[in-house]
Structure 1
Amino acid sequence: MENFNTINTVNETKNHSFYLRQRYVLAVLGFFGFFNASCLRNNVNVATLAMVNASEHNNTETKGSFNWDSSQQGLFLGSYFYGYAASNVPSGWLANKYGFHKMFTISMLASAILTLITPLATTQGLYLAVACRALTGFAQAAIYPAMNYAWAKWAPPLEISVLNSISLSGMGFGLTLVNPLVGVISDALGWDAAFYVTGSMALVWLVFFFIFTSDAPSNNRWISKKERRYIEKSIENRENKTHDEFQGPQKTTSIPWKAMLASKCSWALFIAHSADAWFQYTFAALMPTYMAEMYNFDTTQSGLLMILPFLMQFLVSLPASCITDMLRKKRRITTTQIRKINTFLALSVPALCLSLAGYVGRDHRAVIALFTCGYAFTGLTFPGYLSCPLDIAPRHSGILFAISNTIANLVGFLGPFSAGYIITDYKSLLQWQILFWASFGISIAGAITFVTFGSGVEQNWAKKQNCKKRKQSTKSEVENRSNLL
């Protein structure tokens, strides 16, 4: 049972402010890292429209030079996720072995270079372009696990929600800006410039990230002694670790695979993450189609509509995270309780608003309001289940998140895929209602599972000292038996 003394941290002396607190420098650079990752991931969504000569397949005239049919376009657009889904767990293991800084740097460097050469690869053939995109996804799979390992060493226990949310919210902010950004660039300079600009942006950011960040406070050249002592003492008090365990990558830490995969709170995380992915993938893929078919929105109107929900998610995530950590610091609520509340609201409210949108008639403004307000609640996922790996297994948070992200992405793909079987007539409101309620059911199932089995307490299997004690206990038992014999 968790109580308010579970996380015993140290108060940072108020009259000694750090000029630039390096944990927040890391959070801001992480934000722009995820922003760039989002741009590299999603730049093809709009760029493909300028690349493909649609007049070969319909009556629409475009300036694209590639005669790809719908299946070829789908292959190109989806190829990123083939590599991404395949490499999450290996990337998490590598981040655990070699440290977050090295893996994050290599991941973003590789994906930026692959983005820069994508236009050249595309001119050589579709399958070379697909290979570039798949390798980009393969490279980027490391960033989420790596950032989890970063916060395991950098985040004081009662600041996890805020720091983690600042960095992760960069992905949603990227989704807000990348489509209009790529649209403007493609119109002004051509589709290939969209890849050159987004790839170059990532390289510029990478210079700052490489210089100003490090694996741990102990090997950061910019950190003050007071901040380093505060971070290390806070984490030491929680985990009862010695000072030498803050010196760098955890190269010798074994991963308790069996205990991790047998843990109820691990599966509560996996299920909540999967339910959220199902909803968000379905929403992002099908809402423009819904507005086009049911309310006659054109492409520009649908694109602008999709900016609002992601912007609201970003605007909600940071205040919600600050409130979460404030309540934890003041001991008004336990970590487990607030993680469950945030996750339940983040999964249930957006799905409910989506379902209600199918019953408002021809009032498109009401639909937009429901979509936007509902999706804003997904910002609570950051101080909700997305922060749980750092609560329940800080030492193994990267690999735990990698497993969760793999399962969630595989399940998330099924959302838009299943819609093809539910909706056979895009003008049928009844079929859309069925899809919306199916998504609601999955989201509620995920929310209830997390509320029932989720946790914000570090688990016994995740504590290194427990592993040592078990080994020592086993050794003592063997010696005692030998003496008896």
Structure 2
Amino acid sequence: MSTGAEATVGDGDGVAAPAPASSTGVCSVRHGLALLVHLCNFAISTQQMNLSIALPAMVNGTAPPSPPNASSAVANGTVMELKVLAPVYAWSPEIQGVLLSSLSYGSFVASVPSGYVAGLVRPRHLIGAALLTFSALSLFIPLAAEAGVALLIVLRAVQGVAQVMIQTSQYLIWVKWAPPLERNQLITISISGLMLGSLTVLLVGGFLCETLGWPYVFYIFGGIGLACSCLWFPLVHDDPAAHPLISAAERGHIARALAQQDCEPDQALPIRAMARSLPLWSGLLSQFTEHWFFYVLMGYLPTYLHSVLHADLRASGFLSALLLGVAFISIILGGLLADFLLSRKVLSLLVVRRLFTSVGVLFPSLLSVLLPWVSFSLGITMAFLVLSLATSSLCQSGALVNFMDIAPRYTGFIRGLSLVFVQLSGVIAPTVSGFFLSQDAELGWRNIFLLSAAVDVSGLVFFLVFSRAEVQDWARAQTLTRL
């Protein structure tokens, strides 16, 4: 990372030469690209959570469905009239659970195939088309709900497929756009859009349901996604060499920084070599273990605040949003810090990956184990949770991005594979936590936090032993044995 007016880069002969400020400053095309990917992640995150926010209003509304009263709406022009006209459905808790999970059905099935396709199709086209599809389908959710719950489930599953295409393809952009010493900050800026999107929905989603009616949650955020897709196609290019707005200085800076990196995608996958690669397995298992506590918090934090700390539901929602805000800020600062340490040659890349992962695992694990002992105080508990989310965000500059170090040629496929482990964690962690709570409501929380810490630390140990930061032999161009 370079924040000064001038940075030093190699000139190809091993001699350091000053690079113009325009090639390394934050006002660059690649940082603008990071902002566009950030907006893309913001859009899919808001649309991912909008059904969760709108569902209580869709099912538990107090006003029965009634035919439109055009004269009343025109004469009064009141927001309340719009609210009354929003339909309400008699969906059972089981149906609601299927609806909330339907997005994950599509994501889980498409994770690995979309990762493979991402290596064959230009990321610009794949992400733009997926974002356009995802957002357009959001506009049809109210109509699908009116037509029948089966159609709504299918629509959300298709959105899940589009979502996972965006999640796998966006990392391929940074293979050609991100200099190694800026990769952490560019990735974390883009990924932080997921946190900001979730935070925004939590803050304004309920207000929209209460004022305009629940359909507008889908119309507004779907419209934002369509606007982002309109910006995406003209402003994003797969390669710096093809971008019409990039300066020669920045183009040369990126080319020199990536000159030694073998990043051209390959249609043939070295499956056997991948299966035997312990560095790859260390990163995949980290995806599973480091998301465990996150999914526990996202699934049960409001319940914990309400049942154990006796916070009212409105306060629980606000505190949950506060934690997402902390994670949004921390993930960006973590990327900046990692690149600072690398650019100043304070630490090697492998040490940065292991150090950030260790801090991002050990501190949250310790604080989570201590949570039952401070349950007498809402303030102390929130302080512990804020510190947990802040430090765990460092993992994004640690193990969670390590796959780009060891196999840049197969970034899309490995990212798709890693999403399978993330989604498995998202399924297993809340399920096990629910089992503990059903057995003993009081001791269940203690067991949940102890298990989360144990899972997280076990993944850390495996990562510390087997992780690497250099390109593996099976990911190099000269590898001949493929399956």
Give the aligned partner of residue 184 of structure 2. 161
- 1:124 equivalent among 119, 128, 147: 147
Unpaired stretches in structure 2, ≥5 consecutive residues: 1-8, 64-83
Structure 1's consecutive aligned runs of 4 or more residues displaced over 6 angstroms after TM superposition are none
What is the SS of the residue equivalent to 1:67? coil
Instruction: Give the CA RMSD over aligned residues.
Output: 2.1
**Deviation of the 1:54 alpha carbon:** 6.5
Contact 2:286–2:400 (CA<8 Å) still a contact in 1? no
Give the aligned partner of residue 358 of structure 1. 372
The alignment status of 1:13 with 2:18, answered yes or no, reads yes
- 2:102 equivalent among 73, 76, 79: 79
Contact 2:295–2:425 (CA<8 Å) still a contact in 1? no
Give the aligned partner of residue 460 of structure 1. 473
Q: Distance in 2 between matches of 1:106 and 1:176?
A: 25
- 1:404 equivalent among 418, 425, 430: 418
Amino acid at match of 1:289: T
**Deviation of the 1:64 alpha carbon:** 6.2
Q: Distance in 2 between matches of 1:82 and 1:238?
A: 36
Give a deviation string over 1:414-451, Cα, whole Å, max 9, x none: 0111122211267x332210111011100111111111
Give the aligned partner of residue 81 of structure 2. none
**Deviation of the 1:74 alpha carbon:** 0.8
Contact 1:278–1:413 (CA<8 Å) still a contact in 2? no
Give the aligned partner of residue 438 of structure 1. 451
Contact 2:437–2:445 (CA<8 Å) still a contact in 1? yes
- 2:318 equivalent among 281, 299, 304: 304
- 2:461 equivalent among 432, 442, 448: 448
- 1:256 equivalent among 270, 279, 284: 270
The alignment status of 1:423 with 2:437, answered yes or no, reads yes
After alignment, is 357-366 or 121-130 more displaced? 357-366
Give a deviation string over 1:146-186, Cα, whole Å, max 9, x none: 11111111111111111111111111111111122211221
Give the aligned partner of residue 242 of structure 2. 219
Q: Distance in 2 between matches of 1:431 and 1:387?
A: 33
- 2:330 equivalent among 316, 341, 345: 316
Q: Distance in 2 between matches of 1:203 and 1:44?
A: 18
- 1:24 equivalent among 31, 34, 40: 31
Q: Distance in 2 between matches of 1:160 and 1:364?
A: 38
Distance of aligned partners of 1:189 and 1:9 in 2 relative to their CA distance in 1, 3 Å threshold: farther
Q: Distance in 2 between matches of 1:255 and 1:144?
A: 20
Q: Distance in 2 between matches of 1:30 and 1:13?
A: 29
What is the SS of the residue equivalent to 1:13? strand
**Deviation of the 1:16 alpha carbon:** 4.4
Matches within 5 A, 1:334-345: 334-345=348-359
Give a deviation string over 1:366-393, Cα, whole Å, max 9, x none: 1111111111112112211222121111
Give the aligned partner of residue 340 of structure 2. 326
Q: Distance in 2 between matches of 1:456 and 1:29?
A: 28
Aligned length: 447
Unpaired stretches in structure 1, ≥5 consecutive residues: 1-7, 57-61, 472-485
**Deviation of the 1:337 alpha carbon:** 0.9
Give a deviation string over 1:30-52, Cα, whole Å, max 9, x none: 11110111001111111111111
**Deviation of the 1:15 alpha carbon:** 3.6
Matches within 5 A, 1:46-445: 46-53=53-60, 65-239=88-262, 250=265, 253-424=267-438, 428-445=441-458
Give a deviation string over 1:94-140, Cα, whole Å, max 9, x none: 11001211111111111111111111000111111111111111111
Contact 1:273–1:408 (CA<8 Å) still a contact in 2? yes
What is the SS of the residue equivalent to 1:97? coil
Distance of aligned partners of 1:360 and 1:9 in 2 relative to their CA distance in 1, 3 Å threshold: farther
Q: Name the % identity.
A: 27
Contact 1:53–1:68 (CA<8 Å) still a contact in 2? no
Q: Distance in 2 between matches of 1:376 and 1:12?
A: 37
Q: TM-score, length-normalised on structure 1?
A: 0.88
Contact 1:116–1:195 (CA<8 Å) still a contact in 2? yes
Q: Distance in 1 between matches of 2:87 and 2:94?
A: 17
Q: Distance in 2 between matches of 1:216 and 1:261?
A: 31
Give a deviation string over 1:433-473, Cα, whole Å, max 9, x none: 01110111001111111111112211111111x226x79xx
**Deviation of the 1:259 alpha carbon:** 1.4
